[in-house]
Structure 1
Amino acid sequence: MTLGLIHSVFLLTGIPGQEYVHLWISIPFCLMYVISIVGNSVILFIIKTDPTLHEPMYIFLSMLAITDLGLLLSTMPTTLGLFLLNSRDITLNACFAQLFFIHLLKCIESSVLLLMAFDRFIAIRDPLRYASILTLPRIGKMGLVFVLRGVAVILPLPLLLQRVRYCRSNVLSHSYCINQDVMKMACSDIRVSSIYGLSLSLLTVGLDSLLIFLSYVMILKTVLSITSNVECLRALNTCVSHLCAVLLFYTPMIGLSVIHRFGKGSSPLLQILLGYIYLLIPPLMNPVVTKQIRDRLFRLFTHKVA
C-alpha cells in the first residue's frame, strides 16, 4: 500500500553559508556545463564525419560522450536554477525522475567503460581477430543489452522511494537528487530500499569495476610478454586515455557513496565537493584525456589555419 507523503517538495542545497555569492559561483558552473556539452558534441561530430574513425574504439567513445551529454542535461536545470535563480524547490516526483536518470546514466557509463576495457584487451591480446570479434552489429547489441540492464535494475529505485513517507528535514545535500541522499529524508522503514541500493551498486558498478581490473591484469600480462620495449610501450599507451577515464569515473563515485552511507560525521563541504566532482568532472575531462580526438582536433584546426 502506498503511504501518504508529509513533505510535498525537497529543498536543494548549493554551498551552505555561501548563498550570497551563489550568482558568482554560477559562472564556473556555467562554463563547465558549456565546455562539457561542446566538448562531447565535438567528439560525436568528429566521429560521425570522419569515416576512418568508424572503428570499435571510437564507437565506444561516442557512447561515452552520449552518456555524458545525457548526464549534463539531467542535472543542469536544477544546478543552474539554484545558483542563478535561487530556485531550491523540487517536487518529489521530479526528484525521483531526476535520480532515475542520473543513476541510469551512471550505470550505462560504467558499462561503456567496461566495453572499452574489453576493446583494449582484444586489440592487444588478439589484434588479428580484432575486427572480426568487435563488429558493428555486435557492438550495437552489447550497447543495447547494457542500456536494458540499466533500465531494469535502476527503475525499482524511484518506485521504492515513492512508497516511503518523508517527514524529516527535507533539505537535500546537493543541487540534484540521488538515491542515497533522498533516503536520509525518510521517516519510515527504508531497509528494502537501502539493501536494494547497496546490492545494485555491487552488482553493477562493483562488478563492472572488478571486470575492468581483471581486463587490465590480463592486458598487463600480455604486454609484459612482448619482447620489444617499443611495442610494449606502444601497447600500454593505447590504454592511458581509458585508464584516466576509469579513474575519473570511479574515484569520486566510490568516495561519495562511502560518505553517504558511512560518513555521518564527515564535513558537509567535502560531501558537496565530491558530489560536483562526481557529476561534472568526468564529462568535462573525458574529451580532454582522449588523445586520438585531441590529435584530430589539432589537425583540423591547423588545416583550417593553413
Structure 2
Amino acid sequence: MHHLRVLHDLKLAAAALDDAGVGWCVLKGPALAQTVWPAPDMRQFQDLDILADPRRAQDALEILLQAGFTLVDRNWVALERSARAELALRGPTGTAVDLHWNVVVASGARRQFSIDAVEMLDRTVPRGVGNGVQARVLDPVDTVHHLLVHAGLDGAHKLMWLADILYATRQDGFSWVALDARTRASRTHLLATAVLRRVQGVLGLEIPAPWGSDGPGGDAWVRLVTSRDARIPFPGLPGDPHLGGSLYSGTAPTWYESALGGVRDRARSRRYGRRGDAEEFEVSVLDEDVPDPDARRRYFERVLADASTP
C-alpha cells in the first residue's frame, strides 16, 4: 500500500513537470525497486526523491505546489544559510518527497565534488517504475555513480545501500570504463573506490582490474578504510558504535582532505551519540514557517549560480 501511494504521487508529479517542460527524474526508491533489484518487493523505500533541472528549480517547486503537493521546509532564512540542494515536500497521499537540484545535498560537499545535475538529466532514460507509471531515471552508469556518492557521504552503513550498488552494476548498459571516467571528472573517484571496496568485501562484488584510486595518497586512504573494515566486520548489529561510517562520509577528493574529513565526521557522530544517549535530540528548524521573500529569492539565486558553475 505504501508503494502504491508513492507511485500515485509520482504519477502526479511526472504529469505536472512533463506538461511544464521541466527536466526531471526519479532517484532511488521506486526506480531502484523496479529497474535494478531482481523483484520490486525486495526493496523497501519510504520517500520519493525527485531531481529537477536546477535552472528551473523555482518553477519546479511552484508546479508541484499547484499539483497538490505541500511545502514542509518553509524556513527560507535557514534554507538560504544552509544552501541545501533539496526541499522537503509532502505529496497528496502523504508521501514524503525530497525535491533535489543536485544529487549532493550539502553545500560543503558540492564545493569538494563537481557533479553536474544538468548533464545527468540529459542522459536520463524513460522506464516503467510500477503500476503503469512511467518516469525518467538515471542512466545505468549515473545510477551507480549516484548510489556510490550517496552511500559514501552517508557513511555506507546500510546493507541495502550496498545491495543497491551490487544490483545496479548488473544492469544492461552499465560500463566500468564510463563509471571510471565520470567519477574522475567529478572528483568522486576516491569516494567511489572506497565504497566499492566495502561492497566487494561484504557482498562479493567483482571489480575489474585495474580499478585504482590513483592520485597522491589515494591508494593509502583506501587501504586504511578497507583494513578497518577487515578488523571490524560489517554489517554490525543496531547500536554498534562502529557503524557511524566516518571514514566513508569524510572521504574527499584527496587523502589529506579525507583525513581531515574523517576526523571531523567522527567527532560529529560522537557528539550526536552523546546527545542521543542523553535524549537531547536536535530539532530541525527547516520546517518552521519563516516566509522571508528576500531569503527565498537569494536561495534560488544560489541554486542558479551553482548550476552555472563548472
| Superposed pair shares fold, TM > 0.5 | no
- TM-score normalised by the chain length of structure 1: 0.24
- Please state which structure has a larger fraction of its residues in helix: 1
Higher normalized contact order (CA 8 Å, seq sep 6+, divided by chain length): 1
- Please state which structure has a larger fraction of its residues in strand: 2
